[in-house]
Chains A and B, each alone.
Chain A
Amino acid sequence: MSRWLRSFGAFWYDFVIGDDWRGAAVVAAALALTALLVHVAHVNAWWLLPVCALAALGWSLRRATAGR
């Protein structure tokens, strides 16, 4: 049973997060920060998520190609 649960979890982790968890972490943090800026500081931070997504992609590519 625990083996089945582990492989079930591993499947969903690979399906949603993929090869680099940092991308998902950056997107989650950027969305949280956007919501804070909009609702607390009243800043319409529409630019934050696209910038962070592209930065996360660049970071991930840099890590994947470093030293190769």
Chain B
Amino acid sequence: MNAVALVLTVFVACAVEAVEALTIVLAAGLTREWRSTFQGMAVALAALAVVVAAVGPALTLFPLGVLRLVVGALLTVFGLQWLRKAILRASGYKDLHDEVGIYQRQVAAAQAAAGGGRYGVQDWYAFTLSFKGVLLEGLEVVFIAITFGDNQGNLGLAALGAVAAVLAVAGVGVAARAPLARVPENTMKFAVGVMLTSFGTFWGAEGAGVAWPGGDAALLVLVPVIALACLACTAVLRRGRAAAAMPPAAVPVTSEEATR
């Protein structure tokens, strides 16, 4: 895989998760208190950095075949989860991820929660809300960045994609001071799902001993085939949904049936 695909996949995956984390951080900071919110965020980022520093190099100790088998399986399962959600949302079977709605719910909860500090933190609720939001959203990104980076022998480039996405989302978030509701999150989730599934199946099968026809070039076929199959699934489900939503009176009647 070339460097551009590596950076782009990690960047987009990280941007999706960063948008979700930003919503939680903004709700905590604007409703409660910024200092404790930033402390929670900083501790979560430090914890994620420790995970990267510990797990990243440790993974390189495994033989490449075993690493690809395990990582390929996990990436494929992850990718299928992302695709399932994105397709159900795109076809109307699941509500689209509503950053404004989530933000309002978090704000209401933050306003209702009791105040008070602990362990030198002024507002414990703001701290824990921000810490959990950043850590949980960040774990998925860390996993994607580490596995993609390790498999390609370029953890630094994967980390660069992740950091660039966090900085971009944080920059826009600070400028807007509002949840990023206009980011095409579902489209990004779909694209990341396609990449995770494609690379996951490629590395997983390679780890199981397969030799791909054309070597790495097989990915140039695998990615569009998986994308097209998922687009076809979305179109079929959308059509089914529209047909089910059509009221009986609106069902077109043929002239033969009408004259009966």
Residues of A within 8 A of B (CB): 15-20, 23-24, 27-28, 31, 34-35, 38-39, 44-46, 48-50, 53-54, 56-58, 60-61, 64-65, 68
Contact = CB atoms under 8 A, between A and B. Distances in A.
B80 interface: yes
B240 interface: yes
Q: Which of A20, A27, A48, A58 has the most CB of B within 10 A?
A: A27
B74 interface: yes
B97 to A, nearest CB: 15
B139 A15 contact: yes
Contacts of B69: 31, 35
B230 interface: yes
Given A23-B81, A31-B204, A65-B93, A54 B218 contact: no
B80 A61 contact: no
Interface in B70-86: 72-74, 76-81, 83-85
Nearest to B229: A54
Given A15-B139, A27-B73, A53 B81 contact: no
B9 to A, nearest CB: 17
Interface stretch (B36-44, B116-124, B209-217): B209-217
Given A16-B77, A53-B76, A53-B201, A23 B84 contact: yes
B209 A38 contact: yes
B103 to A, nearest CB: 23
A16 B80 CA distance: 11
Specify the main secondary structure of chain A where it touches its partner. Answer: helix
25 contacts: A16-B74, A16-B78, A18-B81, A20-B81, A23-B77, A27-B76, A28-B73, A31-B73, A31-B207, A35-B69, A38-B209, A39-B209, A46-B218, A53-B76, A53-B197, A53-B200, A53-B201, A56-B80, A57-B229, A57-B230, A57-B233, A61-B88, A65-B93, A65-B237, A68-B93
Contact of B201 (A17, A20, A39, A50): A50
A35 to B, nearest CB: 4
Given A50-B225, A57-B230, A34 B83 contact: no
Given A31-B208, A61-B237, 17 more contacts: A18-B77, A23-B80, A24-B77, A28-B73, A34-B208, A35-B208, A38-B210, A44-B210, A44-B211, A45-B205, A49-B205, A53-B200, A54-B229, A56-B80, A57-B230, A60-B84, A68-B244
Q: For the side of the interface on B, what is the size category?
A: 35 or more
Contacts of B237: 61, 65
B226 interface: yes
A18 B244 CA distance: 28
B108 to A, nearest CB: 24
Of A16, A28, A34, chain B has the most CB atoms within 10 Å of the CB of A34
